[in-house]
Amino acid sequence: MMRGMIFLLAAFAASASGATAARAQPLNLRATAAAGQASPQAGAGLDAVQRNWLGRAWRHEKHGWVYLHVEGEPRERGFQHGYLLAPEIRSALESVKRSWNYESGMDWPWLVEKAKALFVPRIDPENLAEIDGMVEGLAKAGFGTSREEMVAFNGIIELAYYWWPKEKEKLGGAAKTVVRQSCSAFIATGSMTADRGIVLAHNTMGGYESAYCNVILDVQPARGHRILMQGCPGWIHSGTDFFITDAGLVGAETTLGGFKGFDEKGIPEFVRMRRATQDASTIDQWCAVMKQGNNGGYANAWLLGDVRTGEIARLELGLKHVALEKKKDGCFAGSNVAEDLKVLRFEAEIKETDVRLSSVARRVRWKDLLRKHAGKIDSELAKVLEADHYDPYFGQERPGGRTLCQHSELESQAFGSDPPFAPSGTVDAKVVDAKMARRMAFAARWGAACGMAFDAEKFLAAHPQFDWMQAILKSRPAHPWTEFRAGEKP
């Protein structure tokens, strides 16, 4: 994802980079004002129905993460989400506006109007009701927004990276395909793992000024499967994407680098991802939902597993070409390079042999590590692999832009779309094995997978070319690995 999963979202100032120790926030006692707004008094202005909705939801904070549990019908789930994460959502939206204007030269209200026409008619009733509920919850918490703005927010990855390049060309700008250098993942099963069960690992790579995906979202819908996933405030989907469901499915993705296709008449990716994850009971069902109405937006290689059967899959979802592989013994890895030749040659612009590129170097490294550790992979080893600092281009331990645990801020010889010393890299790490998945739990680390801290003040002093980030670039302290489970209380 160019310099991050998305350059548009800024760090959630208070909650994402704050305490290193667990901090609980009891339901309805919202005294925080992370974005500077006046906070509602506990339960102020709520009617009996809304109080009942909030009585079944909660949030707490732990080691840099914000855990949110929502449940019930779509409108009440959205209300719970909007009310309980209002400071984080407000902070993110304000940062989106700043970054969108800086990076595109266009105003945020203009984009909201475009998203209204492009996405709203193509959102299913349940997802739309959840977004509407979120708008209601935000209003009760003292922050006014609209359905259209929250739709634009949810679809910002597709808008910024897939729709906007083509629209920019229509407006007389120069279109450019972005070779995204972000996210690393693998999934293994059978003889590859220590207990022959599934192991899935993923880390998100993004701009440190946009390190926003620090939400652990526990969704218990009235209909469909319960979901525990990483996400961000205000999103009905994951976005990063890392999830487990009570159907026994686990999943993650890495973006297809250099992807060019987008169909304005298709169904948004954020809509399909949420529907697939909530509604599907099997890998095949999940893939079928993602294929139906595919718009090519946020084109990914999805790594999926079914812990009931031990089967894993890789779905490379292009716009014109789709590749699905499944196996019960072996592994798949993702590093932003398409493996299917049709997708790679016809829909992506990336040279898969140029080891100077982060994506290609990480692809080489994954193959080497998975081969060396065949038969020994478990959740603890997966954590070690995610923190790897070996650079295949230089052939040595060298934390930088080409390592699995990416540190582009240290990279003086960057290649691809990132400039040297770009303040970006690995912003999290997650691991789940079959035993964890069966009890609806996974382990996560907020910050670099290796635990290396980032000092924003020192960085900006050394690299003033990034001074436009002064108001939004935050320091990233080290946090420990932490296990989260569905239904956990403060």
Strand partners, 201: 186, 431
Half-sphere exposure of 345 (CA within 13 A, CB side): 3
211 by Cβ neighbours in 10 Å (0-12 / 13-18 / 19+) ranks as buried
User: Helix, strand, or coil here: 456?
Assistant: helix
Strand partners, 67: 60, 216
User: Which segments of 105-225 does DSSP mark as H helices, in order?
Assistant: 108-119, 125-140, 147-154, 156-158, 164-170
Give CA angle at 77 (73, 78), nearest 5°: 120
CB 135 within 8 A of CB 143: no
Q: For 43-54, how does the pLDDT look when each residue is reduced to its tens digit (9 = 90+)?
A: 568 999 999 999
pTM for the structure as a whole: 0.91
Residue 30 has pLDDT above 70, yes or no: no
Rounded CA-CA distance 121/396 in Å is 51
CATH of 13-57+72-170, one of 1.10.287, 1.10.286, 1.10.8, 1.10.439: 1.10.439
**CATH level 3 topology of 184-485:** Penicillin V Acylase; Chain A (3.60.60)
**Which secondary-structure segment (H or E) carries 279?**
helix 269-279
The predicted pLDDT at position 415 comes to 77
Rounded CA-CA distance 314/296 in Å is 17
Rounded CA-CA distance 70/51 in Å is 13
Strand partners, 255: 300
Task: Indicate the residue type of 434.
Answer: A
Report domain extents, the chain.
13-57+72-170, 184-485
Grade residue 17 by pLDDT with cuts at 50, 70 and 90.
very low
Residue 14 has pLDDT above 50, yes or no: no
Strand partners, 243: 229, 251
- In this structure, of 21-25, 128-132, 312-316, 450-454, the range with the lowest mean pLDDT score is 21-25
Residue 413 has pLDDT above 90, yes or no: no
Sheet of strand 300-306, all strands in order from the earlier edge strand to the far edge: 23-25, 58-62, 65-72, 215-221, 227-231, 242-245, 249-255, 300-306, 311-317, 322-327
Residue 160: DSSP 8-state:
I
Rounded to a whole number of angstroms, the distance between the first and last alpha carbons of the chain is: 34
Grade residue 4 by pLDDT with cuts at 50, 70 and 90.
very low
Q: For 46-99, how does the pLDDT look when each residue is reduced to its tens digit (9 = 90+)?
A: 999 999 999 999 999 999 999 999 999 999 999 999 999 999 999 888 888 888
Rounded CA-CA distance 257/338 in Å is 7
Tokens standing for residue 243 = 């999830």
Residue 259: DSSP 8-state:
B
Grade residue 432 by pLDDT with cuts at 50, 70 and 90.
very high
The predicted pLDDT at position 44 comes to 66
Residue 180 has pLDDT above 60, yes or no: no
Q: For 145-157, how does the pLDDT look when each residue is reduced to its tens digit (9 = 90+)?
A: 999 999 999 999 9
**Which secondary-structure segment (H or E) carries 431?**
strand 428-433
Q: For 228-242, how does the pLDDT look when each residue is reduced to its tens digit (9 = 90+)?
A: 999 999 999 999 999
The predicted pLDDT at position 43 comes to 55
Strand partners, 211: none
Rounded CA-CA distance 246/225 in Å is 6
User: Helix, strand, or coil here: 100?
Assistant: helix
DSSP conformation letters of 374-426: TTTB-HHHHHHHHT--EETTTTEE--STTSSS-BGGG-SS--TTSPTT-SEEE
The predicted pLDDT at position 474 comes to 87
Phi, psi of 215 (to 5 degrees): -105, 130
CB 145 within 8 A of CB 380: no
DSSP conformation letters of 267-336: B-HHHHHHHHHHH-SSHHHHHHHHHTTB--TT-EEEEEEETTTTEEEEEEE-SS-EEEEEESSEEEEESS
Tokens standing for residue 125 = 């009733």
Q: What is the mean pLDDT of residues 239-258?
A: 96
